Amino acid sequence: MEQTGKIKVLLAEDEPFLGKIVKESLESRNFHVLWVQDGLKAYSAFRSFDPSICIVDVMMPTKDGFTLTEDIRKVNDRVPIIFLTAKSLTEDVVKGFELGGNDYLKKPFSMEELIVRMNALLDRTTKVKTSCHEQFTIGRYRFNNATQELVLGEDIIRLSFRESALLKMLIEHKNQVLDRKVALDYLWGSDSFFNARSMDVFITKLRKHLKSDDDIGIVNIRGIGYKLIVGGAAEA
């Protein structure tokens, strides 16, 4: 049942005790929480519930959190996704970001930390959504920020929400350095190690999307940020 005025949260967590604690804690803070205990039900619930944010356990029966996130991203590029996991290996973190996750929280965690991270993601998503929608020309490409499309001739590359937002920031700083911390604070909510690794993944994706024009490059300015170079001596 719809609860007017409350932010809808999809919680996919198979541990009964943890799921109950998270659900009750969030509901006490005026969130509307739908809790499911396996990945297959979570995907079905996502399609019908249309949440504003998802909290996803990595290890779940029937469909793990990574696969669930991959499925969600096929139909929705925008909804923030926070992973809950007992794992902390860098490769697992990077994999989660590559599949479209927005943040990572290692078990055990405090509810206050989870809520801070949720609010940061919801705030960033709202800011980027309400930023002005414009069209840009980048070398031989045309970029439509409203439709999240990068066009080269007859070819259309459909960008994710995060790819589109990051590319727009790079374009606004074309041939200048985009400060790494500024981008991380605006799009990710903080310049933490995990968020920085996430941004590196998205920079790599944008380089691949723009590779058909040799006059375009995204250069890493070590320790400072990134520079989108258009026209002349572009190097990826």
Domain stop point among 104, 129, 154: 129
Where helices occur in the chain by DSSP H, the ranges are 16-27, 39-49, 65-75, 90-98, 111-130, 161-172, 180-187, 193-209
Q: Does residue 137 sit in the same domain as residue 78?
A: no
Residues 125 and 144 in one domain: no
pTM (predicted TM-score): 0.65
Cα angle 222, 227, 232; round to 5: 120
**CATH code, domain carrying 166:** 1.10.10.10
> How many domains does the chain fold into?
2
Q: Is the pLDDT of residue 33 over 60?
A: yes
- What is the spatial distance between Cα 116 and Cα 114, in angstroms, rounded to a whole number? 6
Q: How many CB atoms are closer than 10 A to CB 36?
A: 20
* Structural domain ending residue among the three candidates 83, 104, 129: 129
Give the model confidence (pLDDT) of 156-198 as tens digits. 998 877 888 899 999 988 889 999 998 888 887 778 887 888 8
Asked whether the predicted pLDDT for residue 232 surpasses 70, the reply is no
Segment among 15-24, 70-79, 92-101, 107-116 with least mean pLDDT: 92-101
Question: Where residue 83 sits, what CATH number does that domain have?
Answer: 3.40.50.2300
- 141 lies in the same domain as 52: no
Residues 31, 83: one domain? yes
In this structure, are 106 and 138 located in the same domain? no
Containing structural domain, residue 173: 132-230
CA distances from 138 to 123, 156, 159, 175, 196 (A): 29, 14, 15, 11, 25
Paired tokens of 83: 């992973």
pLDDT in tens, 51-63: 999 999 998 988 9
Does residue 2 belong to any structural domain of this protein?
A: no
